[in-house]
Amino acid sequence: MLSGIRIVDLTTVIFGPYATQMLADLGAEVIKVETPGLGDISRYLGSGIPDPTMGSIHLTVNRGKRSIALDLKNPEDAVVLRDLIATADVFFHNVRRKAIERLGFDYNGCKALKPDIIYVHGTGFGQDGPYADLQAYDDVIQAATGTTSLLPRVDGNPSPRYFPSLIADKIAGQFGAQAILAALVHKLRTGEGQEVEVPMFECFAAFMLTEHLRDAALDPPIGPAGYPRQLDPTRQPFPTSDGYLAIVPYTPESTARLMDLLGSAGLLETPEYEAAKAKGRHMPIIYSEIARKTPAKSNAEWLELFAANDIPAMAARDLQDIKEDPHFVATEFFRHRTHPDVGAFHEMQPPVKYGAMPRRDLGFAPRVDGDGAAIRDELAR
């Protein structure tokens, strides 16, 4: 689908590599430019056996790429990167603005090498704001966007806390992939390259505030920020006799069917419920009643009943069990592969399926400079 598109990727950790891996999965040639010796720090995230530079997280964000190690302060290596950019459709980096300018790889410098280059700068913060030169990592962005204030509002523990995922990095990576695809479409239509800025702070704020800006979006605000349904402390997986279930009575019809199954249909006719519903505050009553009744049966018993009555529900599983999920097994989402340097491992397949693009060999994550000699040889021809 993206065959023939070359992306020179000077990004590190998760944000940029996650974006370019999605494009590599679609057939783009991605050349990963790394620091000689140690390479990208993401190589050391997770266990790497037997090579510590081939950590498990590196395998999940750098598959299908080629690696060349270049010291950009070395004039000879800088020439190699210039030669690469001259052959590329996209140059993507997450080096801070002043540093990339010192190296000579700012937009104007790269445009002189390839007039139609799509030049993508993955930044921490928008470059026209007061935070432009600050460093940004996932924790920093979660804190700056107010995300760390959400869990305390749910459980009453006053300490701000991070969401247990590199969610800001990954969301910014998705915005980055989207931005590159949009710029490629523009280039195909007009022949023009362009400079593209993908700021983590703004990307993640746009993602999180979709629902959580809520009534504070109005001028003047008619209520506080925060989506009450997501912040309701009673909104938790419900206990059963042998586990927990996620149960979502999202519509009035499914709520009525659920209450009937629980033997609690009369709850919906009580004055207390009617008064709470009039104020949009009835879900805690529903959730509390579900939690009171679900321990009477097992996960399997409830799931059979819910499936027969079209009530959305799934078992709350442990992360360790996900690979054995019967749906994932049937769809071959986790593919068992053998990496030439790491050995056997499970790899998640791209989740989106395209009718005109059959499943292709995704390649493996490269070793540091694993393709350096070959790339240099190609440039010399």
Tens of pLDDT, residue by residue over 351-381, are: 999 998 888 788 999 999 999 999 999 999 8
Express each pLDDT in 179-230 by its tens digit.
999 999 999 999 999 999 999 999 999 999 999 988 888 888 888 888 888 8
Enumerate residue ranges in the chain where pLDDT < 70: 48-49
The token pair at 350 is 């791209």
User: Which sequence positions are flagged as catalytic?
Assistant: 169
Q: At residue 212, what are phi and psi to the nearest 5 degrees?
A: -85, -15
Query: Distance between CA atoms of 58 and 20, rounded to whole angstroms?
Result: 13
Q: At residue 314, what are phi and psi to the nearest 5 degrees?
A: -150, 155
Which residue segments constitute the domains of the chain, with CATH numbers given? 6-208+331-380 (3.40.50.10540), 239-315 (3.30.1540)
Q: Where are the alpha helices (DSSP H) in the chain?
A: 15-25, 56-61, 75-86, 97-103, 107-113, 138-144, 150-155, 167-190, 200-212, 228-231, 252-261, 271-278, 283-293, 299-308, 326-331, 372-380
The confidence score (pLDDT) of residue 223 equals 83
- Which residues contact residue 72 at a Cβ distance below 8 angstroms, ignoring those fewer than 6 apart? 78, 81, 103, 105
The confidence score (pLDDT) of residue 70 equals 98
Q: How many CB atoms lie within 10 A of CB 304?
A: 12
The confidence score (pLDDT) of residue 180 equals 98
The confidence score (pLDDT) of residue 294 equals 97
The confidence score (pLDDT) of residue 341 equals 84
Q: Report the chain's mean pLDDT, rounded to a whole number.
A: 94
Query: Distance between CA atoms of 196 and 175, rounded to whole angstroms?
Result: 11
The confidence score (pLDDT) of residue 48 equals 61
Angle subtended by helix axes 283-293 and 252-261, to nearest 10: 30
In this prediction the pTM is 0.92
